Amino acid sequence: EIVLTQSPGTLSLSPGERATLSCRASQSVSGSYLAWHQQRPGQAPRLLIYGASSRAAGIPDRFSGSGSDTDFTLTISRLEPEDFAVYYCQQYGGSPPYTFGQGTKLDIK
């Protein structure tokens, strides 16, 4: 089973700042099948990034993903008020289980 470790656990920033979230895998993620999901309070999650770096439909270009093998990053270039939420990485390549990271909470400073 691939274990995903996200850091930091909580990130406190102000609107307009840049956010960098990390996701590290315990073994190589095949095919860079790594996704990022956002969950706002009281809402269902939504897909932001798939294939490590491809934005899902309708996702603003301030969101970008990068990385490969075991190290992945989600960057939000300029934070908007609606971006303060919890972010999860998930690997979906190879055989299940398709594990999630424990999440990074993005807080307003």
Partner 1 sequence: QVQLVESGGGVVQPGRSLRLSCAASGFTFSSYGMHWVRKAPGKGLEWVAVIWYDGSNKYYADSVKGRFTISRDNSKNTVYLQVNSLRVEDTAIYYCARGPHVAVVTAIDYWGQGTLVTVSS
Strands 104-108 and 10-13: parallel
> Is residue 46 a contact point for partner 1 (CB under 8 A)?
yes
Nearest CA to 5 out of 20, 19, 26 is that of 26
Instruction: Please check whether residue 49 is in contact with residue 74, taking contact to mean a CB–CB distance below 8 angstroms.
Output: yes
Tell me the one-letter amino acid at 66: S
Q: Binding to partner 1 (CB under 8 A): which residues in 76-95?
A: 86, 88, 90, 92-93, 95
Q: Which is nearer to partner 1, 19 or 90 (CB)?
A: 90
- According to CB under 8 A, which one of 31, 60, 66, 109 is a site residue for partner 1? 31
Q: What does the alpha-carbon distance between residue 12 and residue 15 come to, in Å, rounded to a whole number?
A: 10
Q: Which is nearer to partner 1, 50 or 83 (CB)?
A: 50
Site residues for partner 1 per CB under 8 A: 1, 31, 33, 35, 37, 39, 44-47, 50-51, 56, 86, 88, 90, 92-93, 95-103
